Structure 1
Amino acid sequence: MGFGGLYISISGLQASRKSLDTVSHNISNANNPNYVRQSAIHASNSYTKSADGRFQTGTGVNVIQIRQIRDEFLDLKLRRENASFGYHYAKAQILEDIEGVFNEITDSGLQKVMNGLWKNWDELSKEADSLTIRGLVHESSVAFAETVNHISRQLNDIRHNLNKQMLTKVDEVNNILDKIGELNKSVKLVEGENSRMKANDFRDERNALIDRLSELLPITSYENTFGETIISLQGRDIVNGSFISRIDVKNDNNGLGHIYWEKSNEKIDLNGLGELAGFIDVRDKSMVEYMDRLDTFVGTLANKINALHSTGIDLEGNQGGDFFVGSGGVINASNIKVNSELSNYNKIAISKTGGISDGDIAKEIYEVRNETLFGEMSTDDYYRDIIFSLGEERKSSRLIAENQGFLINTIDERRQSISAVSLDEEMADMIKFQHSYTANSRVINAIDEMIETVVNRVGLVGR
């Protein structure tokens, strides 16, 4: 064994040291949720041949790559499921806020206000000349109008807040795209032609961004031969190396933002996938449906009561007018009010004959509660159907989100079992490479002693 053996041992020292550095890097990132465990891959150096070409001699070992231990299939699967989870999770959260606006979970919602309203109309039909009960009818009607005004205003506020949050999500998407583009440049620079270095830490940062992006949008992604990530949305590249195609927002006539392809008038339809789609769909579909149904409920009920009240005679002998008023000839949840003239309780017209004790119109108004004004549904049934539909939609989205969350956690656990840092495994590797380092050091010492003996004893023979 000569200088060749020395070189072999030195290569072993270097490989062991690089492996120990990798182990140390893994341990220092044990609590980093985005970190993927790395491993030093050893390979034999090229052999040398003897002069006659009959024999080969080994030249030692080399670390050819610091490889990440990850299963890319699990990454793709998790990101595919993320889009559905993001959509339904966002939708369930928003619908829960809408349920809170109607406040029917407690005992102080619109249904309780309507129960009081109907009860007072019933009492007034029995004591038509009672100013006290007339006052109660007026006040409960004001409470009904103010309650639906408040609900309508809050629903409208939620819708505009959703628009702001949607714009914030778009900004987040574009920021992520920009960062991924920069990381693509960094990876390509580190892993340039003939480079033996791996930009694994940049990859970890980039993969964390892609995971988050997959919650916001239904994306697909892969890595090209240059180490750059290509990300597509509905078949169009939004990241391709350092090329970035940002998402544009354009406002409609109501000031609501919609997403478009960059520098294009083509609108993007996310097809019910991703957090961003959840915000847009609730804002433009669910919210519109419940606001329209509330307007229909209020308008139909108010017009029916107005029609009956206008046929009655008040205590002053005058023909009754509209009990509820709106604006522009239309009554809805946002503008309904009790006619200001009725603050004079004598003007509440509930008599058919003009008699003081005649409360026939009040009785007919009370009976409106059980009339089928909405297809085959009564007033109460129609309102309860609004609340039921809202609850079922929220429940459905929450259930899907919970199932998706369970599936994602299962996939992530499998991914972590492969990619996460295990301190026990790292300590075992550390001991292994320390022993390898020590063994190579001893070989070098032995060769050093052999060479020293040869050098010192040259010429001493025969003296």
Structure 2
Amino acid sequence: MGSTFSGIELGKRSIMANTDAITTAGHNISNANTEGYSRQRVQIKEFDPLYKPDLERLERPGLIGQGVDVQSINRIRDELLDERIVAQANQESYWDTRSKYYTMIEQIYNEPDDISVRSNMDKFWEAWQELSINPESKAARQAVVTRAETLTDSIKQRWEALAGVGNLIDGDIEATVKQVNSYARQIADCNAEIVRSRAMGDNPNDLLDRRDLLVDKLSKLINISTDQRDSDEFMVHVGGRVIVQGNIAREIDLVPRFDDTGYSKLVWKDTGNDAVFNGGTLGALVELRDVDVRNEIQTLNTMTMNFADLVNDVHRNAVGANKVTGLDFFTQHSFVENAHGNFDRNGDGELDTSYIFRFTGTNALDMQQQVGIEGVMRFSGSTGEVQVPYFHTDTVETVIARINDSTSEVKAYLDKNNHLVLKATTAQDVENPDFVIRHVEDSGYFLAGYSGILAGTGEAGAYDFAQADAVNALASGSQYAVSPVYNPSAYIEVNQAIRNDVMSVAAGYMDAAGTAPTGDGRAAVEIAAIRNTSVMVGGMKTFDDYFADTVTNVGLKGEQAETNLLSQNAIMDDLRNLRDSISGVNIDEELAEIMKFQHGYNAAAKFITVWDSLIDTVINRLGV
């Protein structure tokens, strides 16, 4: 027969189970507003009945139960949904970051018309046009100088604004790297605590919630995925690399990049290998700094460098009203003082590189003339050498267009004397210098004999910048210019000699007697004509194309970021709402649970009271 006091034990178990359920519901309500908290539920099961097969018992179906028992307290969580949220969150933060910074970049280009770079450049061209009409006028020369100064100031202001955004992004990268390292360490620490707790037979719900919250936060910063190999090893991956494995966390470090920006690059601290992130806040920041803002600055530098170079090319060959000639209108700062552009790039004390910006051939060419020769030219590009073929039937114009349409970082055009000019553009790879021609080679004679740039053909006659005195490969009589200091848009200014004496502004050309003819405004006309001449180096052909393209490009990228952000917000809102419906705390539901288990507690207490009365009857009242 069953124990006389078994009912007391049965009632006690019921009270304890209902107490645990009420306490758990209270814990849920207390944490209803706790970030990352998942509601918990008590898993209740019937207690094992007393049963011994070797003892005699009545032949009846079923066993007398022994009450209830709390099996575990589990959190309500959909792990597959969690993985979807972690995988998707980096895209939302990626587009959010891009949208925020493109709003700032757009503000730089949304200048009032009267102070914008474009309006100031238009006024600059107009001043030269006015000078061409009145070449003897001092007032017209003063207008040219004043408007040139206003233009250079606006260019420098735009560079400062873009560089300021780049510096702001760089500061955010440093802060975000610290956050990533901190979250990775905290996840590893949580892993260690969870393993210890499970080893003792516990179910660490709150620790699991904290780890999931940290993973959610980390997923907004970088593109991660998670992997639970077993109950003791939780892993976090990024781009195929492990960043957290169990209680071990890898860190990201910042090391100098040794370029003109002074920025750092991301590496893994333990290996020194580059750390690359394709999503999240950190991925967006690195892309904004090293691609978007860098491209905007490079485009501005390209416009500035070629603008100054083209104006100077005309001006130095013309003569001012004071009979001074040979003056550059804009001051240009060479990267090195060495006339051959020789530079010690690796810092070992030996000149090992040639920094040359422009080659000019010796022979005058006709744009519509067929070249009558064939071969393959090779130029430096972003991913190596770029091949540009030419054929017998190609015209000079066709060959030049083929060079400019290629992916090479060397562009071509004919100058005012119809000589072929090769110029370096900005470099896509941050490891390569801007405005430096790195390689020029021709298997035939277009560059060697036809245009008069190279002295020889083939690999033996190639120009390669990775050596001192590389200009020795150029044809005798060809001209070249040393590369400028980094970021010409940051320091462009009108020549001090011209500012001191505006009569030095050249409007015409010398005659046979060595003087400027009265009323000669040919040089001023040529400079004014640069505005609409297809001489722009890079993707744009004219200066007007530059302004139209940059504003359009920034606007479209800002629109793209905003549109994708709205799309990602909608996706993430649906996923988070679904998770909240599963794991979130509903106050009304928890109150209903408390009332339900309160009734169970009261019933169990009543049961114990009744059982106590029965025992009292048996012990104290039987036999009286």
TM-score by length of 1: 0.91
Q: Distance in 2 between matches of 1:131 and 1:180?
A: 73
Distance 1:107 1:11, change over 3 A: farther
Q: Comparing both chains, which one has the higher relative contact order based on Cα–Cα distances under 8 Å and sequence gaps of 6 or more?
A: 1
Distance 1:441 1:105, change over 3 A: farther
**2:248 maps to which of 243, 251, 264:** 243
SS in 1 for 2:43: strand
Q: CA deviation at 1:23?
A: 0.8
* Counterpart for residue 216 of structure 2: 211
Pick the structure with more helix per residue: 1
Distance 1:445 1:106, change over 3 A: farther
Q: Distance in 1 between matches of 2:134 and 2:89?
A: 63
The aligned amino acid for 2:69 is N
Whether the 8 Å contact between 2:77 and 2:583 is mirrored in structure 1 is: yes
Q: Distance in 2 between matches of 1:211 and 1:159?
A: 28
Q: CA deviation at 1:364?
A: 2.6
Q: CA deviation at 1:356?
A: 5.3
Deviates more, 1:46-55 or 1:343-352: 46-55
Deviates more, 1:446-455 or 1:355-364: 355-364
* Counterpart for residue 303 of structure 1: 309
**2:565 maps to which of 373, 389, 401:** 401
1:201 maps onto 2:206 in alignment = yes
Compute the RMSD of aligned alpha carbons: 2.3
Whether the 8 Å contact between 1:39 and 1:69 is mirrored in structure 2 is: yes
Q: CA deviation at 1:78?
A: 0.9
Q: CA deviation at 1:355?
A: 4.9
Gaps of 5+ in 2: 335-481, 511-515
* Counterpart for residue 444 of structure 1: 608
Within 5 A, what are the aligned runs for 1:14-413?
A: 14-49=16-51, 51-52=55-56, 56-104=63-111, 108-193=115-200, 195=201, 197-223=202-228, 225-226=230-231, 229-254=234-259, 255-270=262-277, 272-319=278-325, 321-328=327-334, 330=483, 332-343=488-499, 344-352=501-509, 354-355=516-517, 357-374=519-536, 377-413=541-577
Q: Distance in 2 between matches of 1:287 and 1:304?
A: 26
SS in 2 for 1:350: strand
**1:6 maps to which of 5, 8, 12:** 8
SS in 2 for 1:222: strand
Q: Distance in 2 between matches of 1:96 and 1:390?
A: 9
Q: CA deviation at 1:456?
A: 1.6
* Counterpart for residue 442 of structure 2: none
The aligned amino acid for 1:296 is T
SS in 1 for 2:253: strand
The aligned amino acid for 1:47 is P
Whether the 8 Å contact between 1:85 and 1:404 is mirrored in structure 2 is: yes
Q: CA deviation at 1:31?
A: 1.6
1:293-313 alpha-carbon deviations (Å, 9 max, x no partner): 211111111111112222333
1:20-57 alpha-carbon deviations (Å, 9 max, x no partner): 11111111111223211111111111111163366522
Q: CA deviation at 1:107?
A: 5.8
The aligned amino acid for 1:208 is L
The aligned amino acid for 1:440 is A
Q: Distance in 1 between matches of 2:236 and 2:21?
A: 33
Deviates more, 1:7-16 or 1:43-52: 43-52
Deviates more, 1:341-350 or 1:220-229: 220-229
Whether the 8 Å contact between 1:320 and 1:349 is mirrored in structure 2 is: no
Whether the 8 Å contact between 2:195 and 2:232 is mirrored in structure 1 is: yes
The aligned amino acid for 2:321 is L
Q: Distance in 2 between matches of 1:330 and 1:151?
A: 22
Whether the 8 Å contact between 1:294 and 1:333 is mirrored in structure 2 is: yes
Whether the 8 Å contact between 2:115 and 2:154 is mirrored in structure 1 is: no
Gaps of 5+ in 1: none
SS in 1 for 2:254: strand
Distance 1:240 1:192, change over 3 A: same
Q: CA deviation at 1:330?
A: 4.7
Q: CA deviation at 1:437?
A: 0.7
Whether the 8 Å contact between 1:298 and 1:333 is mirrored in structure 2 is: yes
* Counterpart for residue 413 of structure 2: none
Deviates more, 1:299-308 or 1:253-262: 253-262
Q: CA deviation at 1:423?
A: 0.9
Q: Distance in 1 between matches of 2:97 and 2:144?
A: 42
Q: Give the length in aligned residue pairs.
A: 457
Distance 1:295 1:453, change over 3 A: same
1:73-105 alpha-carbon deviations (Å, 9 max, x no partner): 111101111122232322332333333333447
TM-score by length of 2: 0.69
Whether the 8 Å contact between 1:23 and 1:426 is mirrored in structure 2 is: yes
Whether the 8 Å contact between 1:216 and 1:276 is mirrored in structure 2 is: yes
Q: CA deviation at 1:227?
A: 5.7
1:253-300 alpha-carbon deviations (Å, 9 max, x no partner): 234322233421322322x22221212222222233222221111111
The aligned amino acid for 1:446 is V
